[in-house]
Amino acid sequence: MQTREAPAVRRTARTALLGRMRRPRPATATQYILLVVLLVFSFALVVLMIDLSLRPAVLIYVDFWGLPWPPTFANYRTALLDLLPAMGRTLWVVAVSITGIVVVSCLAAYAFARMRFPGKGALFLAVLAVMMIPGVILLTPQFILADELGLRGSLWGLIVFYIAGGLPFAIFLITTFFRSQPQEVFEAARIDGASEVQALLRIAIPLAMPILVTVSIFNFIGIYGDFIWPTLILNENQQTLLMALAAYSPQLGEFASRPDIGAQTAGYAFATVPQFMIFTIGMKYFIQGVTSGAVKA
């Protein structure tokens, strides 16, 4: 009798379990609805920007909410010709600044994590203390220092202070990751005759590649989207991309008093291309670096 009832009991339990799995809980359903609403609001402005950038400005003024059919890419050609020099200057500043941050922070982080020297703890606490200072408070002393060093009106006035500003967080994050790496690997490398530089280049940095990508992406976001510091340092003929976008107001030939909204929105869309490419290429390593840094810290 028990052997006959056992399959029926199992089927009943399986059916009940599947029923509970198929019926979402009210709290879960509410969370999904909120996520969908936030997703719609997040992408609404992006969709509107792309829609306007693919339409002639005359049609935008006639029917603002119209569809871009047939799409036109003349606005992108105009924005590309107008904003390409500023884009080139911005990407050069970003590349040099991130390279300097990664190189210097790797050297400093390896020293904090793997070497012994007097005052190491105090220096690391000083790095942590600098991280707690709001960046806005440093604008005035940085401006005075840049003026004294003759860096105003030069892209190096951006690069030097971007490197200095990005080092504390990068040193802290990479040091935490270096300390979590197995000590036995470095001891084996020293026994085989490897120097500290070789251990850094061949062991520490390859293992820390996800966290280095994470540091690079964080600094890319901050440097690429910075507007205040370039406005204080640079002249009008040395504008970064955000400075150029803030002043970008092409005029319509048909309506001389009205800006060309299509070209403006195409410029904004053109400015998002590097960010989209960086996140597309580095998202895998970015997620690995964030999760591993959170676990190891």
Residue-wise pLDDT for 45-81, tens only, equals 888 888 888 888 888 888 888 888 888 888 888 888 8
The span from the CA of 153 to the CA of 47, in Å, is 37
- 3 is written with which tokens? 């052997």
Name the least confident of 48-57, 139-148, 156-165.
48-57
User: Could you tell me if 46 and 86 lie in one domain?
Assistant: no
pLDDT of residue 135: 82
User: Could you tell me if 28 and 129 lie in one domain?
Assistant: no
The span from the CA of 178 to the CA of 203, in Å, is 10
Residue 62 lies in a domain: no
Could you give the percent of the chain with pLDDT greater than 70?
Answer: 85
User: Could you tell me if 264 and 179 lie in one domain?
Assistant: yes
User: Could you tell me if 187 and 125 lie in one domain?
Assistant: yes
Question: Residue 219: which CATH number?
Answer: 1.10.3720.10
Q: What is the DSSP letter of 250?
A: P
The mean pLDDT value of the chain amounts to 83
Residue 109 domain boundaries? 74-296
pLDDT at 247 over 90: no
pLDDT at 225 over 80: yes
pLDDT of residue 11: 57
Count of structural domains within the chain:
2
Residue 63 lies in a domain: no
The span from the CA of 106 to the CA of 174, in Å, is 7
User: Could you tell me if 135 and 9 lie in one domain?
Assistant: no
The span from the CA of 98 to the CA of 212, in Å, is 10
**Where does the pLDDT of residue 153 fall: very low under 50, low under 70, confident under 90, or very high at 90 and above?**
confident
Residue 106 lies in a domain: yes
Please say whether the beta carbons of 123 and 186 come within 8 A: no
Residue 59 lies in a domain: no
262-289 mean pLDDT: 82
User: Could you tell me if 18 and 95 lie in one domain?
Assistant: no
pLDDT of residue 72: 85
User: Could you tell me if 100 and 37 lie in one domain?
Assistant: no
User: Could you tell me if 97 and 181 lie in one domain?
Assistant: yes
User: Could you tell me if 46 and 113 lie in one domain?
Assistant: no
pLDDT at 287 over 80: no
What count of other Cβ atoms lies within 10 Å of the Cβ of residue 151? 19
pLDDT of residue 2: 47
